[in-house]
Structure 1
């Protein structure tokens, strides 16, 4: 419902979603791109296209431009009337979440175990700040080549320790989720997990969980299957909590401001 685009009011006790800790590292350029698109659309069709629809379409277009599938995006969303930072953390998986915790969260949104695996494939592009991988890098188990979720390919471990020192590192340093093809939306993410080259502990754990390992192996072999199932999962996720009508939503003129 594009509530993430709302700017916090200086005199408000409650911060907006945008300023939640989990969202603080989203680059300002991302918000500016959406706001520019909204301004162009508003100039041609005032009061017709919601910020929520523009956000969903922009996500699809970015994925496609990066080499991923072009999937259908249902339109007609209205923008949400509330935006609270306090609601963010409990609705997002964390870097140290277990598979059971992630599955419980996804199930609460009407998503399945397969959706968890397929949507995790979005980590074929993008970056993580070092603070989210420090435990995976420096956990004592990580430096041993024991079979398990904490296992890291020695070459990746060496590179990560260089970019992300245990103490005194630069907080602005980022590392790619997909170390093999970081700028391309493809199925390499799943092959990386097979090779113990998943960046986040939650990613790598998918390969060692018996419920999800067969899905990882299947998607690592078949990029078209990944694209097809990812498209369906994105359509499914895009239908969660959709607002329609004035009773539940609004059509913002400026994506950063509520109408009232």
Structure 2
């Protein structure tokens, strides 16, 4: 594989970053020979700019779309690889599964695809657009600039029954999460680092409100002792004050929800992880030590995020003659 890079960083900083991730690049190069950091350099040189511009434009009217785009890549890559299958509409598809009912950002992917089909018809895959859009969402909120290898092709199969066995539920133990990540070729460090995605985005009350309750006398009762009492009370107040708690959303990060930073890990140390799966990372020696490192060093978090994000973005990719290049991201050709 031939790698090519472009960056606005100072040359010395860029070279340092390249040396840091060289082992990862060699791994990708040996396993995914049809992926390249400049795959569309000749066939559609403006592809990444078009995706980035579409993401930025969408976020000016709805900032929450950035968190939705980042979540979307997890639900795509973890189910049957990064093949854009979560984007396909229809009965019985991944997108129709109740586990994916709260996903969003589809319109941004489709908007980028529509422009690309005018400029470079039949060239850029929806799978690549999805990965690039997630990358750009992180960058738009102050996160690291990540060079992404492209050349993925779109899958043609999307089955709802594949969703539940492959995605992380909010009540999973650390062991269950490690098992899921391991099945995708991802490590314990990748689990903790990629959980840092919860530094942005929001969640519906029904995904975490089992951690506290109101007893028959109307008193607040903390069910999950790993959750800070005052934080739990704040969450309860917000969720119970809504006419429809299932429609109410709460920021994943109560401190800096509009910035991609390492605040998430400091929240975990303060017992303010929104989900049970967040709090669980502080209760296991294998994950707590990594949380502590990332909470104290944002640069380390950004470096490790870059590595883990790239690893996730190449899970089960279709390349070469596999799959297709969809004309619409919502339907197979």
Per the normalisation by structure 1, the TM-score is: 0.90
Q: Which residue of 2 aligns with 1:257?
A: 331
Q: Which residue of 1 aligns with 2:86?
A: 4
Separation of aligned partners in 1, 2:183 and 2:260: 28
Contact 1:6–1:18 (Cα < 8 Å) also in 2:
yes
Say which of 235, 242, 247 aligns to 1:172: 247
Separation of aligned partners in 1, 2:331 and 2:242: 40
Q: In structure 2, do the counterparts of structure 1 residues 167 and 65 end up closer, same or farther at CA, with 3 Å as the change threshold?
A: closer
Say which of 224, 227, 251 aligns to 1:152: 227
Say which of 170, 173, 195 aligns to 1:120: 195
Q: Which residue of 2 aligns with 1:83?
A: 158
Q: In structure 2, do the counterparts of structure 1 residues 35 and 168 end up closer, same or farther at CA, with 3 Å as the change threshold?
A: closer
Q: What is the deviation of 1:169?
A: 4.5
Higher relative contact order (CA 8 A, sep 6+): 1
SS at 1:46's partner residue? coil
Separation of aligned partners in 2, 1:24 and 1:143: 28
Q: What is the deviation of 1:139?
A: 9.7
Q: Which residue of 1 aligns with 2:311?
A: 236
Contact 2:242–2:248 (Cα < 8 Å) also in 1:
no
Separation of aligned partners in 2, 1:232 and 1:150: 33
Say which of 102, 112, 121 aligns to 1:25: 102
Say which of 196, 199, 208 aligns to 1:133: 208
SS at 2:203's partner residue? strand
SS at 1:192's partner residue? helix
Say which of 142, 149, 168 aligns to 1:67: 142
Deviations 1:29-85 (A, max 9, x none): x11111010011111111111000011000000110011111011100000010111
Deviations 1:202-226 (A, max 9, x none): 1011011111111101000000100
Runs of 4+, deviation exceeding 6 Å? none
Deviations 1:238-257 (A, max 9, x none): 110100133x3110011111
Separation of aligned partners in 1, 2:222 and 2:330: 45
Contact 1:2–1:79 (Cα < 8 Å) also in 2:
yes
Q: What is the deviation of 1:96?
A: 0.5
Unaligned residue ranges in structure 1 (runs of 5+): 10-14
Tell me the number of residue pairs that the alignment of Structure 1 and Structure 2 aligns. 247
Separation of aligned partners in 1, 2:191 and 2:327: 34
Per the normalisation by structure 2, the TM-score is: 0.71
Separation of aligned partners in 1, 2:175 and 2:225: 17
Q: Which residue of 1 aligns with 2:63?
A: none
The answer to whether structure 1 residue 58 and structure 2 residue 133 are counterparts is yes
SS at 1:138's partner residue? strand
Q: What is the deviation of 1:154?
A: 2.5
